[in-house]
Structure 1
Amino acid sequence: MTLHYTLEALSSLMSPVNLITLVLSVFFGLIVGVLPGLTSTMAIALLTGLTYSVSAETAILSLVGVYVGAISGGVQTAILLNIPGTPASAATALDGYKIGQRGEGGLGIFVGNFSAFLGTLFGAVCVLVLSPLLSTISLKFGSWEFFLLALFGVIMCGSLTSGGDAVKGWIAGALGLFVSQIGLDGINSYPRFSFGSVELMAGISLVPIMIGLFGFPEIVNSFKKQQIKVPTEVLDLRVKKGLKIMKGNTPTVFRSGVIGVLIGLVPGVGEDVAGWLSYWAAKVRSKKKEEFGKGSYEGVIAAETGINSTIGGHIIPLLTLAIPGSTSSAVLLAAMWLHGLRPGPLMMSESPGFIYSMSLYLTASAFVMLILGLLISRYTVKVLRIDKRILMPVIFVICAVGSYVIDNKISSIYIMFIFGIVGLLMSKMKFPASPFLLGVVLGPMADTNLRRALVLSGGSLEPLFTRPLCLILVVFILLVVLSQFNAFKKLKGLFPSKNNIAAK
């Protein structure tokens, strides 16, 4: 049966249309990754609206391709310019830029790209191996457990993305949960916060919110930054030496891959956390600790492997629990719903072949990303030479088109503007946008499952403390919340942080 599903997925992948789609999608993702400020979330959201009229297989393949490309593309500018193309690439830039400064930029890009390739492959294998296991466990989840999972995801995301002020992250998450309640409720179809508007009764689409929160502020803020001068050339890749370096760091690749997948399994924890934690673990275990922060290839390998293996980690709970591990996978989940796919505990019985297809899509995307990343490494950085007065208006038009085509409503563009202003205000006041978006994504699940659970228990909260899985989740939530109080902050020194690592 496994062979049958694999051959079926391979047959779909090898069709000319899908192969061309994959190459173009990964290429687009790489360009997005190279451009600072543009994220994988934004790229997937823009592409989601454009895939509405194509088949589900082609649509998901293209979104996986752009996801992989966008996450891995940030290594280029991180090494060449000390400008992370994606937030996660900040860990790569710490050593990567020093490598580029000593005249080994091409070698650094090869090592970074190959590490991203191996991390993505590791994640793809984990999707195939761990998804059925987690699917079996997830069948034990009831309404109470899903409510607590959603709550845990928002709280965890708020804690990790708030820059040390968890309360701001939790407030952002709570606002996202509130926005998710606009429209008809999931139990009785009663209109909430719609104020008599038929369009608001249908709820607010995720994609315009996402584009507004993440795209609009970057477009506005980019005009405040000076034009970047880019190097005129990139040095040779030196493939043989790069492969030798990779071979000597095999334990680092495996350890970082495991860390990345495990981080990806936690809802709301992004690639940047995996990158820094992998970097920290590599430094602790390294025999050459003094080289970290001064141009260590091991640091680049650890960061890029950890960052890219989280893609597979994010997709596992997405497929088995219908819980996105990141904002990027949240948009991917929305795309799956858009194309009639229903991730969740029953996916292994309803669409058992889709797990194999997703693993194969990730594997194929990894190979295409490696080839394209190396081929265009001499040229992608030149995109940064485009005058921002030309580039940013083009991106703005793409944002508007991406918001409109998702449901062909002008109101979606208005929503993008509204949440663009919200995103600007949140940016000014240092409120993270990720918890807000995750709250919007997980809000319906939290609301519906809580109300259903209360109906089944007759309004009693007793199951929260009597069901084993509930009790475990309640303990985790309490630990996350209590860890932000002064009495518990002494324990923080036992764990790595971005600032501590950078300082060292």
Structure 2
Amino acid sequence: MAIHYLIDAFQTVSQPINILVLFVSTLCGLVMGMLPGLSSTMAIALLTGLTYSFPTTTALVSLIGVYVGSISGGCQSAILLNIPGVPAAAATALDGFPLAKQGKGGFAIFVATTSSFLGTVISVLCVLTLTPILTSISLKLGSWEFFLLALFGVVICGNLTSDGNAVKGWISGIMGLFVAQIGLDTIISYPRFSYGNVNLMAGVQLIPVMIGLFGFPEIIAAFKKSDTKALKMSPFKMVEGFKCIWDNKIAVIRSALIGVFVGIIPGVGEDVGAYLSYWTTKSRSKHPEKFGTGEISGIVSSETGNNSCIGGAIIPIMSLAVPGSAPAAVLMAAFMMHGYRPGPLLMRETPEFLYQISMFLIVSAFAMWVLALILSKFTVKILGLKKEILMPIVFVLCVVGSFVINNSMFDVKVMFVFGIIGFFLSAMKYPAAPFLLGVILGPMADSNLRRALTISSGSITPMFTRPICIIFLIAILSLILSQLGFFKKIRKNKQMRGSVEC
């Protein structure tokens, strides 16, 4: 029966009109993912209204295409400009931009795009085979687990990006958590840190924060440097790129499974999947000190992880009608608009729907891979421009990207404020990535902690008695202890012995 549904789905997507719509929507997703400010959530939301009058299958094809394209497209601006097009690509910038500065921007984009393709395809296999199992796991996560998961994400990111000084990374992440508290709280809608400003009551928008943190320091740094020569891009062969992917096949599989698991947890999203995959690969590497300087396995892990979250985020939509991420929430609304009822009864009422979405994801991933590689031949040339020409263009894109979210100049002001914060963070060697992740995970941490305390009448005892909570607590404690001098010496001695044996 499953094979029959898959064949029908392939025949549907292979119709000329659907193929055309798929490639166009994927291309639009890629472009919107590349441009700072035009997030994957916005891409799907904009397209949803346009597809209202489309035939149902054509609408579904276009929505899946723009979803896959927008998540994947963010890696190109992250690699070439150190400005992630979408938050999910922030981890990719850690090693992608150093590679671009070495003249390997095209190679980095090829590896990132291929990893994105593989992450999506592997996640589809999980959608088809592991949906019941993964759904049962997600049902066991309560408020305490979600709070600790958010805290775990910030601690991991602080360890990863702090260049040996994890305390700076943690401070940056905690600052992000505090920024996320601005606005109406999620429990009783009480205004916090808004000081009577109506705009602040709505909270600080993620995209202006991201653009400011990552865009402004690069713009300022470009004009501070006396050497204004354009970077040269070294040519590479596709065989070299495929060999690199093969050498990192374990990281691909591991990161894909991590991404699926993270994607299925409601409210977490692709950015956490990317960072968690990156951290796992770095922690298992024999040379973790190379990460952040242009380590290709970091790009492979982050891009595989964030794209495999696409399939993972769709799993709870199908089985529970609970989206795994913000883009998935918009996608679920689009499904409902086109006559589908996500949830436990979906497989009974429309059993072919799961197989249609799975097939559309696979074909969209292939279209993304082809189109992204074609686009990269043009995008890598932006580094051939002198900084005096390139950076004013980037500045305009930063302003426009911040404005279009709500058509509000207030968001542009927010971008400027966090641009200044990002500049000082960079000057004092505080990483910006944990700050951004703190802003992303702050609402989840806040709402779940307060909800858990309300349920337990203010007691924190349940946090130490629930099995999954204990696992998270042990992991967080291990990450913190690993940064103490005694444990650092032990780890360094092990690495030295390992290198001697090699």
- Return the TM-score normalized by structure 2: 0.71
Partner of 1:389: 388
From 292, 306, 312, the counterpart of 1:311: 306
Deviation digits for residues 15-74 of structure 1 (CA, Å, limit 9, x no counterpart): 644431212433665xx5xxxxxxxxx646456556643307656642431332443788
One-letter code of the match for 1:133?
I
Please say if 1:122 is aligned against 2:122. yes
Partner of 1:23: 27
Residue 467 (structure 1) shift: 1.3
SS state at 2:483 partner:
coil
From 92, 95, 103, the counterpart of 1:88: 95
User: 2:13·2:360 contact (CA, 8 Å) conserved in 1?
Assistant: no
- Return the TM-score normalized by structure 1: 0.71
Residue 451 (structure 1) shift: 1.3
CA distance in 1, matches of 2:495, 2:359: 34
Residue 411 (structure 1) shift: 0.9
- Structure 2 counterparts to residues 249-328 of structure 1, below 5 A: 252=247, 254-262=249-257, 264=259, 305-315=300-310, 318=313
SS state at 1:53 partner:
helix
CA distance in 2, matches of 1:139, 1:280: 29
- Structure 2 counterparts to residues 460-471 of structure 1, below 5 A: 460-471=459-470
Q: 1:495 to 1:357 in 2, by over 3 A?
A: farther
Q: 1:152 to 1:113 in 2, by over 3 A?
A: closer
Select between 305-314 and 463-472 the one with higher mean Cα deviation.
305-314
Q: 1:411 to 1:138 in 2, by over 3 A?
A: same
Residue 383 (structure 1) shift: 2.5
- Structure 2 counterparts to residues 195-206 of structure 1, below 5 A: 195-206=195-206
User: 2:399·2:412 contact (CA, 8 Å) conserved in 1?
Assistant: yes
- Structure 2 counterparts to residues 477-496 of structure 1, below 5 A: 477-493=476-492
User: 1:119·1:257 contact (CA, 8 Å) conserved in 2?
Assistant: yes
From 51, 54, 61, the counterpart of 2:47: 54
Q: 1:376 to 1:220 in 2, by over 3 A?
A: same
User: 2:120·2:308 contact (CA, 8 Å) conserved in 1?
Assistant: no
CA distance in 2, matches of 1:307, 1:496: 24
Please say if 1:163 is aligned against 2:163. yes
Deviation digits for residues 387-442 of structure 1 (CA, Å, limit 9, x no counterpart): 33333222222222222221222211111111111111111111111211111121
CA distance in 2, matches of 1:85, 1:141: 28
Q: 1:190 to 1:198 in 2, by over 3 A?
A: same
Q: 1:341 to 1:489 in 2, by over 3 A?
A: farther
One-letter code of the match for 1:89?
G
CA distance in 1, matches of 2:451, 2:284: 42
One-letter code of the match for 2:487?
F
CA distance in 2, matches of 1:121, 1:130: 14
Residue 260 (structure 1) shift: 2.4
One-letter code of the match for 1:259?
R
User: 1:148·1:473 contact (CA, 8 Å) conserved in 2?
Assistant: yes
5+ long unaligned stretches in structure 2: 50-59, 83-90, 263-267, 318-323, 336-340
User: 2:123·2:309 contact (CA, 8 Å) conserved in 1?
Assistant: no
Partner of 2:86: none
CA distance in 1, matches of 2:457, 2:173: 28
Partner of 1:408: 407
Residue 358 (structure 1) shift: 6.9
CA distance in 1, matches of 2:92, 2:229: 13
Residue 384 (structure 1) shift: 2.1
Select between 3-12 and 435-444 the one with higher mean Cα deviation.
3-12
One-letter code of the match for 2:453?
L
Partner of 1:432: 431
Q: 1:195 to 1:385 in 2, by over 3 A?
A: same
One-letter code of the match for 2:413?
Y
User: 1:138·1:320 contact (CA, 8 Å) conserved in 2?
Assistant: no
One-letter code of the match for 1:87?
L
Partner of 1:81: none
One-letter code of the match for 1:462?
T
User: 1:183·1:204 contact (CA, 8 Å) conserved in 2?
Assistant: yes
The two structures, once aligned, show a CA RMSD in angstroms of: 4.7
CA distance in 1, matches of 2:153, 2:403: 29
Residue 205 (structure 1) shift: 1.5
CA distance in 2, matches of 1:157, 1:169: 7
CA distance in 1, matches of 2:452, 2:302: 37
Q: 1:131 to 1:495 in 2, by over 3 A?
A: farther
CA distance in 2, matches of 1:94, 1:129: 41
User: 1:88·1:271 contact (CA, 8 Å) conserved in 2?
Assistant: no
Partner of 2:141: 141
Q: 1:147 to 1:358 in 2, by over 3 A?
A: farther
Partner of 1:189: 189
CA distance in 2, matches of 1:53, 1:45: 10
User: 1:126·1:312 contact (CA, 8 Å) conserved in 2?
Assistant: no
Q: How many residues align?
A: 446
Q: 1:154 to 1:375 in 2, by over 3 A?
A: closer
Residue 386 (structure 1) shift: 2.5
Q: 1:316 to 1:92 in 2, by over 3 A?
A: farther
CA distance in 1, matches of 2:494, 2:346: 40
One-letter code of the match for 2:307?
G
SS state at 1:453 partner:
helix
Deviation digits for residues 201-231 of structure 1 (CA, Å, limit 9, x no counterpart): 2212112112111222222222234444455
Percent identity for Structure 1 against Structure 2: 40
One-letter code of the match for 1:64?
V
CA distance in 2, matches of 1:378, 1:492: 42
Q: 1:272 to 1:447 in 2, by over 3 A?
A: closer
CA distance in 2, matches of 1:386, 1:229: 6
One-letter code of the match for 1:162?
S
Deviation digits for residues 243-297 of structure 1 (CA, Å, limit 9, x no counterpart): 9x95x8896453231232255457766758857976997989xxxxxxx9xxxxx
User: 1:217·1:424 contact (CA, 8 Å) conserved in 2?
Assistant: yes
CA distance in 1, matches of 2:282, 2:445: 34
